Structure 1
Amino acid sequence: MNMNVNNNKFNLSFTPATNMEAYQSLIQENPQDMIASANDLKTFYEGHSHFKSDNMFINAFQEFEKNVVFSPDGGFFSGDFSSLTENLTYRQLEELTSKMGMSMFLFECRKGSRCSESPPGSGIKRCVTSVNSEELCCYCDPH
């Protein structure tokens, strides 16, 4: 499987990560054109009229915004992509995940994982795998 990512496809200054090590490095680099915060996500959405083409997608994006979590240090932490995967084309989803620093390969590898604190209140985070879920966690190792 070819995991090379064409960063020029979406005019990015960086190559979207294909694994968690590369994603963590990318967060440290902090490219200016990467969506690394809720404000970046809102700016991206507002600047792309093709993402605001119909009410169904507008509602889906608003639902995604409600549950997406970014790390205080920058970068995507976790979120439920189901409202978007049901309403975006593959290319639109690829553009969004790429600008968030994740290749579609990494997105697919991490899909179905969600961050859980175990035991509750302990501060110990771990990934839990959910079959047939569009949740995604980029914080901890699901294995």
Structure 2
Amino acid sequence: MAELTIKLATGARTAYQNLLLIGDDATEVVASYLDQGQLYLLQRDKLTIGVALVIPQNKQVVELKNLGLLPQQQHHGYGKWFVQQLLRLLREQGYQTCIVGTANSSIANIQFYQRVGFRMDRIKHDFFAIYPQPIYENKLQAIDMLMFKQEL
């Protein structure tokens, strides 16, 4: 496997907006949380191939708000490795629980988060009603946010 590393982003986060838009394709929504929390970069052979934005909810709970990986880098195990290492870092920082949400229509994301140890926790009904344009995936409209959590 190529050399994978994680580092904390410094400088203007807008430089990573294209990667963040892979995880959440609404520019206005990404802009609303872009400067919150910590932005981690996944690098493969020193090239940034993915990002993860984590936002503390309180001293015990942190949310994985956005996870984006370049499409050509997906399905190689890099995303799984990234999330596993990120969860380890968050545990070392003292967090006890990590939460993540994905759309009811994001079938691949629902499978992915369960494969890396998250469990369904709750549903945020009509979450995507605030989005400027309807989102469709897998012939389904994104309406509700499915929330998952993992104890660290």
Same fold, TM-score > 0.5, yes or no: no
* TM-score of the pair, normalised by structure 2: 0.31
* TM-score of the pair, normalised by structure 1: 0.32
Q: Which has the higher contact order (CA 8 A, sep 6+)?
A: 1
Name whichever structure is richer in strand by fraction: 2
